[in-house]
Amino acid sequence: MAGSTYNTPSDYIGHHLAFNEVSFGDHPFWTMHVDSVVMAVLLGLVSMGLIWLVARKATAGVPTKTQAFIELLFGFIDDQVKTSFHGDRHAFIAPAALTVFVWVLMMNAMDFLPIDIMATIYNKLFHVEYWRNVPTSDVNTTFALALGVWFLMIYFGIKVHGIKGWLHDLFCAPFGSNPFVWPANFLFNIIEYVSKPLSHSLRLFGNMYAGEVIFLLIGMLAASGVFGVFFSAFLGAGWAIFHILIVALQAFVFMMLTVVYLSMAHAGH
């Protein structure tokens, strides 16, 4: 952290990757990453709040430029949902997809803020020692989102097919309804239900975490002298530009998987 000195590179990295934690119980589960939650809630409020401010005054006539931009986003999400979900998408799936995309994009985009400058600001302005910018590089955040989608998946599965139909699918698909293949079916479905949230959350987490670590490694170069400063600035800029792609792509992938999982729950086997 700016202002403090690091003895070893792992000190530097460890410091930047430490969460601002509060504990309210003995068990390690009862800790909360204040930085992740605050950043996520703040970003969610700002991004969706801005969209809401525009949507509230949306006119069917000639739109303002801001409204046109929001409508572009709306159309983009709507088109994506339309291709994979065939039903009343406006009731839930499409707005949920918009939320996921915008929120994840905003959280990912925090990676562009220069880590050491932000650390200095947090330290000097808010007097916090540990503060991580990117909520999606916290596995808790990504897993919370994936788990939310997972519950929605089960909810819609039961809602659309009924509890009997859902259980039937659990035991009688994909191999058939013969009682001998029930265990195999059930095993397959359990694997599917476990692997979906894991792959969903870990894909995003891994990408964002790796991006952050690479920024840290590049930042560390700056400690090796004047040449290192220039070189790390150059590399940092390059990685940030490439990271634009990753940030947008991962947000898009996360949104698409959400839509696909939810429409699969609607379709059933």
Partner 1 sequence: MNINFTLIAQALAFAILIWFTVRFVWPPLLKAIETRQKEIADGLAAAHEGKASLEIAEKKNQESLSISKQKSAEIISQAEKRANEIVDAAKTEAKVEADRIVAGAHSEIDQEVNRAKEALRAEVSQLALSAAEKILQKEIKKEDHSAMLTKLAKEL
Catalytic residue numbers?
199, 203, 207
Query: Does 257 sit near partner 1 (CB under 8 A)?
Result: no
Query: Closer to partner 1 at the Cβ: 85 or 143?
Result: 143
Q: Are 80 and 96 in contact (CB under 8 A)?
A: no
Query: Does 212 sit near partner 1 (CB under 8 A)?
Result: no
Query: Does 90 sit near partner 1 (CB under 8 A)?
Result: yes
Q: Stretches 99-107, 115-123, 222-230, 232-240: which one binds partner 1 (CB under 8 A)? A: 99-107
Other C-beta atoms within 10 Å of 261: how many?
19
Does a cis peptide bond (omega within 30 degrees of 0) precede residue 174? yes
Q: Stretches 2-10, 41-49, 79-87, 240-248: which one binds partner 1 (CB under 8 A)? A: 41-49
Q: Are 251 and 108 in contact (CB under 8 A)?
A: yes
Q: Are 98 and 240 in contact (CB under 8 A)?
A: no
Q: Are 31 and 21 in contact (CB under 8 A)?
A: yes
Q: Which one of residues 32, 121, 256, 267 is an interface residue with partner 1 (CB under 8 A)?
A: 32
Quote the CA–CA distance of 106 and 78 in Å, as a whole number: 19
Query: Closer to partner 1 at the Cβ: 100 or 172?
Result: 100
Report residue 97 as tokens. 């997809």
- Strand 21-23 relative to strand 31-33: parallel, antiparallel, unpaired? antiparallel
Q: Which one of residues 2, 15, 18, 44 is an interface residue with partner 1 (CB under 8 A)?
A: 44
Quote the CA–CA distance of 49 and 44 in Å, as a whole number: 8
Give CA 205 to chain center in angstroms.
Answer: 7
Query: Closer to partner 1 at the Cβ: 3 or 28?
Result: 28
Q: Which one of residues 1, 81, 98, 265 is an interface residue with partner 1 (CB under 8 A)?
A: 98
Q: Which one of residues 7, 61, 88, 125 is an interface residue with partner 1 (CB under 8 A)?
A: 61
Q: Which one of residues 121, 139, 160, 184 is an interface residue with partner 1 (CB under 8 A)?
A: 139
Report residue 132 as tokens. 């991580």
Which residues in this chain contact partner 1 in the complex, by CB under 8 A? 24, 28-33, 36-37, 40-41, 44, 48, 51-52, 55-56, 58-61, 63, 67, 70-71, 74-75, 90-92, 94-96, 98-100, 103, 135, 138-141, 143-145, 147-148
